[in-house]
Amino acid sequence: MRVGIADRGSVRVVTLDNPPVNALSFAYSAELLEAVRAAEADANVRAVVFTGANGLFSGGADVNDFSTEPTPETKTVRDVIAAVEAGTKTYVAAIDGNALGGGLELSLACDYRIATKASKLGLPEIKLGLLPGAGGTQRLPRLIGAQAALEFMLKGSSNPAEKALKLGVLDELVDGDVVDAAVALAERALASEPKRRVSARKAIIGKGITAQAGPFVVSAAHKMVPPEENGGYAAHKLIDAVEAAVELPFAFGIAREARLFEELVRSEPSAALRHIFFAERELNKVPGLAAAEPLTIAKAGVVGAGTRGTGIAIAFATAGIPVVVVDSNDGAVEKAKQTVFGMFMYQVQKGKLTQEEAWKRAQSIVFTEDYAELADVDVVVEAVFESMDVKKQVFARLGGIVKPDAILASNTSTLDIDEMASVTTRPDKFVGLHFFVPANIMPLLEIVRGKDTSPQTIATAFKLGKTLRKTSVLSANAFGFIGNRMVIDYAGAANAIAEEGVSPWRIDGVMKKFGFPMGPFAMSDLSGIDVGWHIAKARPDLVTSRTHVVDRLVEMKRLGQKTMGGYFKYDKAVGKGREPIQDPEIEALFAEEAKKAGIAPRDYTDDEIRDRLIGALSNRGKDLLEKGVALRSGDIDIVYVYGYGFPPHRGGPMWYADHAKSATASEELTHA
Ligand code: T1G
């Protein structure tokens, strides 16, 4: 790591160069501070331009540092920014690429900020359970107004340079070399402009909004974010910091921001979110996998125009990959076409696509009955009925049609990849691509590795996942892979508690209070009670239920949302028929069946329900790690956060079971 120094007349260009993302670590900040001090001490230097090497400005503070305890001697990005703030020189930030977190905050301390059009600027700290702790909560409101600053920081997204310019974060967009432009701007400023530190400005609420509206804007913001105890802890503290920017002098606001930041950096939600941040970046590191050049996927094929196949086709088209969908069922094809058209038009209505883009994407999905149209695709994803025989017929047929180096993939959610590969002559190019439904929306993709899947096929699957903007997790070829194998234990634990007399309604309520978007019984109603029933018939060794409640529900044709009744009732007039309604009839059914099975009722506290269900997940997760089905516990956490709605501020089932003070999971493994 180094700090680049180059003088252009009286303008000193300081280049942030700390690969890969110019992270402003404690160590790097100390070097950068020396460079600022040297510039301030040099009479020949009248202005300083900050810029970044490695294709970006800076990815912000080094997230690793937050798990260490700084000493009084430790220098951080705050010290660099304080030196700029106190400095006498004119400072210009020349941004190209990403300027995020503490990197953007460094630029906010400058007098001017200019960027190339391709740049992206953001304060994503909220995603780490933090707030911008290097002056961002105090300077951004002074630059763009408190209301806009709250939106900018609470969303935590990366903003295109155009938007940053419109908001007032940037002074100029640059076509040519951003450093040349910054040096020229500095020279002009030296010739004519007084210094203009952002800190000297007054934070307005927003354009045309009077200061009296301040308290209203702040209280409205508090109402819009989740409760502190359920994922909103950092958001509420961030709003408090912005309130200080409006109410207090700069120095007091900075002090409050620092205090709030220290609270957050030591909080459980932030530790959990930082765990997710790094776990995500470990996913494609496969120990022992030979390096291999991924293939290019220029065209894709999908066999099966059902819900899954259509979602996968839309995901390809959205990523700009033309796709051929093969299905001989006219009804399915017609329904698929309407789904595709409806999806892209919806994005036009939401302003996410122009009509022209939507039309282009829809046109890039070709439906046909003719398998021969798959002859030139680079990957085929099978998404037909979840039956091994049907899938094997598809793959046996594809072998003679697709080109020799095309990858064959199954979207199966539980079945044996090797058995499917056995009917082809290319087991090295066979892989599971388990998209979570709906495939065009859910971010998780399980990549399932067969015993003969080659390193190149795995590398290609990871690259395809990134192209499709998926979070991809590698699983070995075992029943249910990672997520669905664990959900069997989760549902089993919930069912066991219901058999002991606790209502499904209360169990779901406990898990929703924990942070899941829906509880286990509502999840079964959504996916279909018959799905679980079929799995139980296929794998009776995995069944833990001691009653025939599920059989009774299937007999009663209470299969869940799709039959307007399952563990709960559904009413089209309530939440469009998707809102679970407590059903005393089912609670009576549980009691009746439990009595027949001689199961004694038992009381549970809410915490016991929570810990029993999460314990079931984490114990199965440990089993999957021991069996080598999952590579790391962080991978399992990512599967549950991205695929099953586990609240990210709790870190995932493995992290929570290990770290949460309240976790008292003692659930024994229900099966080998
Ligand atoms: N700290 C430490 N490591 C980081 C990092 C960071 N901020 N950003 C990236 N890395 C590592 C990452 O783990 C990976 O490591 C490698 O860099 C490439 O990352 C005080 C408190 C910048 C858009 O949240 O969004 O500033 O796997 O695969 O796809 O107020 O990285 O190679 O060992 O993601 O090109 C706020 C997080 C920090 C930005 C580049 N900043 N980073 O994406 O590469 S808190 C962030 C990103 C803060 C201040 C606050 C992305 C990127 P490895 P990558 P990429």
Compute the distance from residue 61 Cα to the ligand 1 centre, in Å: 8
Compute the distance from residue 312 Cα to the ligand 1 centre, in Å: 29
Structural domain count of the chain: 3
Taking the C-alpha atoms of residue 644 and residue 616, their distance in angstroms, rounded to an integer, is: 15
| 3-class DSSP assignment, residue 116 | strand
Specify whether 390 is located in the same domain as 461: yes
Tens digits of per-residue pLDDT, 574-624?
Answer: 888 899 999 999 999 999 999 999 999 999 999 999 999 999 999 999 999
Looking at residue 566, the DSSP 8-state letter turns out to be S
Closest atom, ligand 1, to C-alpha of 120: 23
283 within some domain: no
Predicted local distance difference test score (pLDDT) of residue 665? 47
> At residue 476, does pLDDT exceed 80?
yes
In which band, very low, low, confident or very high, does the pLDDT at 671 lie, cut at 50, 70 and 90? very low
271 within some domain: no
Establish whether residue 273 lines the binding site of ligand 1, counting it when its CB lies within 6 angstroms of any ligand atom: no
Specify whether 467 is located in the same domain as 606: no
CATH number at residue 255: 3.90.226.10
262 is catalytic: no
pTM for this entry: 0.94
Percent of the chain with pLDDT over 90: 86
Specify whether 407 is located in the same domain as 488: no
279 within some domain: no
Mean of pLDDT values over 44-72? 95
Specify whether 432 is located in the same domain as 514: no
273 within some domain: no
Specify whether 439 is located in the same domain as 493: no
Tens digits of per-residue pLDDT, 494-526?
Answer: 999 999 999 999 999 999 999 999 999 999 999
CATH number at residue 524: 1.10.1040.50
| 3-class DSSP assignment, residue 304 | coil
Question: Of 241, 266, 291, which residue sits at a domain end?
Answer: 266
Closest atom, ligand 1, to C-alpha of 285: 27
Establish whether residue 61 lines the binding site of ligand 1, counting it when its CB lies within 6 angstroms of any ligand atom: yes
Taking the C-alpha atoms of residue 569 and residue 299, their distance in angstroms, rounded to an integer, is: 44
In which band, very low, low, confident or very high, does the pLDDT at 662 lie, cut at 50, 70 and 90? low
Establish whether residue 98 lines the binding site of ligand 1, counting it when its CB lies within 6 angstroms of any ligand atom: yes
Q: For helices 268-280 and 233-247, what crossing angle results, to 10°?
A: 110
Specify whether 240 is located in the same domain as 324: no
Instruction: Mark residue 575 as left, alpha or beta (left: phi above 0; alpha: psi -120 to 50; beta: remaining).
Output: left
Question: Which of 260, 265, 268 shows the shortest CA–CA distance to 242?
Answer: 260
Taking the C-alpha atoms of residue 400 and residue 580, their distance in angstroms, rounded to an integer, is: 48
Residue nearest to atom 14 of ligand 1 (CA): 281
Question: Of 429, 449, 477, which residue sits at a domain end?
Answer: 477
294 within some domain: no
Specify whether 511 is located in the same domain as 440: no
Tell me the residue range of the domain where 339 lies: 300-477
The one-letter amino acid at 613: L
Specify whether 461 is located in the same domain as 562: no
Establish whether residue 52 lines the binding site of ligand 1, counting it when its CB lies within 6 angstroms of any ligand atom: no
Specify whether 361 is located in the same domain as 387: yes
Closest atom, ligand 1, to C-alpha of 62: 1
> At residue 664, does pLDDT exceed 70?
no
Taking the C-alpha atoms of residue 526 and residue 514, their distance in angstroms, rounded to an integer, is: 19
> At residue 407, does pLDDT exceed 70?
yes
Specify whether 306 is located in the same domain as 195: no
Specify whether 202 is located in the same domain as 332: no
357 is catalytic: no
Specify whether 392 is located in the same domain as 367: yes
Question: Which of 342, 393, 335 shows the shortest CA–CA distance to 367?
Answer: 335
79 within some domain: yes
Mean of pLDDT values over 168-172? 96
Establish whether residue 519 lines the binding site of ligand 1, counting it when its CB lies within 6 angstroms of any ligand atom: no
167 within some domain: yes
Tokens representing 503? 């209502």
389 within some domain: yes
Establish whether residue 130 lines the binding site of ligand 1, counting it when its CB lies within 6 angstroms of any ligand atom: yes
**Marked catalytic residue, from 31, 40, 69, 125:** 125
CATH number at residue 372: 3.40.50.720
Predicted local distance difference test score (pLDDT) of residue 616? 96
Question: Of 440, 460, 477, which residue sits at a domain end?
Answer: 477
In which band, very low, low, confident or very high, does the pLDDT at 5 lie, cut at 50, 70 and 90? very high
Q: Which of 25, 65, 281 to mutate to test the pocket of ligand 1 (most atoms within 8 A of CB)?
A: 281
